[in-house]
Structure 1
Amino acid sequence: MNERHKEILQLLQEQKEISVNLLSEHLGVSGVTIRQDLSQLETQGLVKRVHGGAVLNDTDDISTRLVFHYNQKITIARKAASMINDGETVLLEAGSTNAVLAKELTQKKGLTIVTPNVFIARELREYYDVSVILLGGVYQHQSESLIGTLTKLCIDHLNFHKAFIGVDGFTPAAGFTGKDMMRAEIIAYIVQKSPQVFVVTDSSKFGKMELTRYFGAEDVDYVVTDKRIPTKERAFLEQAGVKVVLA
């Protein structure tokens, strides 16, 4: 995927629908080139062509979501990794930022990573110095997460020092929210079990409310995000006792 494709996807995430003419003007290329770009992105399942433009495909697929705000996710993941010590056991729930974090953690020594997410486990398959525990459960095809009673039983039998959770939204009224109702129960269970809870997410998620409430600010110890977090949401979190760490 080239830089122009990434910029098209970023614009679509911000505006939901955008015309070929506007993309052509913004990116300084011809309409023919933009149509070719959109056709390639549609083939990859990232966008859907509509008359005169395109809309973003709404998906929980991690490999797709990795594209959005990728530079921020790398910065956030590196900051989060610096807060993890050699020899610890950490749980990475799911989400694109956690997928980037998983790769960053391969530089640590004696680390054990627990995850209910197949994508994250697969990202670590070539790193033999990292111990990986993949939780059991019912497999969600699109998100590649494992959910259900068996997943909770696995969590019950494990201890970990820190849990890292990805979210889709946060507002002071709704708390931390997400699009996936099926994962919500497992996320709440992880948060209840973990001695320390870290939210890792880029600043675009703040001020947004999604369908399902995952947990509240009172359940979180740290939020690791980028410097564009809105002042209102940051102040609310800090007043609630959450340590906001800027990457």
Structure 2
Amino acid sequence: MMKKEFVEERRLGIIQYINQKRRADVYELAQEFNVTEVTIRRDLILLEDSGKLVRTHGGAISCLDRSIWQTTNIRARLENETAEKERIANYVASLISDGESIFLDSGSTSLLIARALLSHKRLMVVSNSPSVAQTLAGVNENKVLITGGELEKNTDSIIGTSCEEFLKQYRTDKAILGISGILIPDGYFAANPQEAAVKRIMGNNAKRTIYAADSSKIGTTAFTFVESLKNTGLLITDTNISEDNLKLLKQYGADVVTV
């Protein structure tokens, strides 16, 4: 077996071990896989970057034990619910007209929406996502304004006071926002206060707000409240949503479209 295959086998073993044990420290993993602690630390960094686990001080925990305030890697999220997210992205893009101004925040669904907007013309896009900006800038006379602030590499989002102050300067036709969790009847949630602040500013400064979230987010909590369900915008989700959840969302005032 080649060295590369040994490495891939070991890293797969680490994921399986941590998912089974729920957590493990570096020394324990080094003993289990008969390698140095330096090698294990390098493995854990790469595995976290690919969204397979969450590193902690001295070790790692399973993604299944991730706290509600912890974010997941955007590359890993792009691999989840892909077909549903693409349907949502294409529908959202159909709601945008050439020449409109939009806020488009960060996240895996937002990036897919940016790709779905590539055939649009003369858009003015304001975003806190480097990937969204790079996707749309200069295409079909589209213009992109990207915020300043702190770059959160794991989520490909720019956050912080500088970002918020930048966004407050602008008013757009539409705000398109990804959501980490939707609780009924509470409302929409984001992973942390900084991301929630960005979403609130975008939503408040647009004529119309569109929330884009696959149905796996419904019933899933996240750390920070963003907005209530009632009279805050249009929710685009997929047809895997249960009939009960769909009825409850409408009962509590959400405007919902399934695709």
- The verdict on a shared fold, with TM-score over 0.5 as the criterion, is yes
Q: Is the 8 A contact 1:76 1:226 kept in 2?
A: yes
One-letter code of the match for 1:245?
A: V
Tell me the equivalent position of 2:51: 46
Letter in 2 for 1:47: K
Alignment partners' CA distance in 2, 1:245 and 1:73: 14
Identity percentage of aligned residues? 25
Aligned to 1:118: 130
2:184 maps to 172
SS at match of 2:86: helix
Query: Equivalents in 1 of 2:20, 2:87: separation in Å?
Result: 28
- Three-state SS of the structure 2 residue aligned to 1:217 is coil
Residue 235 of structure 1 and its aligned partner are, at CA, apart by: 2.0
How far apart in 1 are the matches of 2:183 and 2:117?
Answer: 30
1:85 Cα shift? 0.9
Aligned to 1:161: 173
Of the three residues 62, 80, 85, the one matched with 2:92 is 80
- State the SS of the aligned residue for 2:246: helix
Equivalent of residue 147 in structure 1, options 155, 159, 166: 159
1:73-222 map, 5 Å: 73-125=85-137, 127=139, 129-222=141-234
Asked if structure 2 preserves the Cα contact closer than 8 Å seen for 1:170 and 1:208, the reply is yes
Shift of 1:191: 1.8
Match of 1:33 in 2: none
Cα distance in 1 for partners of 2:253, 2:107 equals: 25
| Paired position in structure 2 for 1:61 | 73
Unaligned runs of 5+ in 1: 1-11, 20-38
Q: What CA distance in whole angstroms lies between the structure 2 residues aligned with 1:67 and 1:184? A: 23
Aligned to 1:245: 257
Q: Does the CA contact (< 8 Å) of 1:174 and 1:209 recur in 2?
A: no
2:134, 2:76 → 1: CA distance?
Answer: 16
One-letter code of the match for 2:151?
Y
Distance apart, 1:199 and its partner CA: 0.7
Tell me which amino acid in the other structure corresponds to 1:131: K
Q: Output the CA distance in 1 between the equivalents of 2:135 and 2:207.
A: 26
Q: Is the contact made by 2:170 and 2:205 (CA closer than 8 Å) also made in structure 1? A: no
Q: If you compute each CA radius of gyration, which structure gives the higher value, 1 or 2? A: 2
Amino acid in structure 1 at the alignment position of 2:50: G
- Secondary structure of 1:80 counterpart: helix
1:161-201 CA deviation, whole Å, 9 max, x = no partner? Answer: 11111111111143111222321122122222221111101
Q: Give the CA RMSD over aligned residues.
A: 2.8
Identify which range, 158-167 or 229-238, moves more after superposition.
229-238
Aligned residue pairs: how many? 209
> Which residue pairs with 2:41 in the alignment?
none
CA contact (8 A) 1:176 1:215 kept: yes
Deviation at 1:246?
A: 1.3
Change (3 A) 1:170 1:43: closer
Q: Against the structure 1 CA distance between its residues 43 and 175, is the aligned structure 2 distance closer, same or farther, given a 3 Å change threshold?
A: closer
Partner amino acid for 1:236? L
Structure 1 residues 126 and 67 mapped into 2: Cα distance closer, same or farther (>3 Å)? farther
Q: TM-score, normalised by structure 2?
A: 0.71
Asked if structure 1 preserves the Cα contact closer than 8 Å seen for 2:51 and 2:73, the reply is no
- Normalising by structure 1, we get a TM-score of 0.74
Return the offset for 1:137.
Answer: 2.0
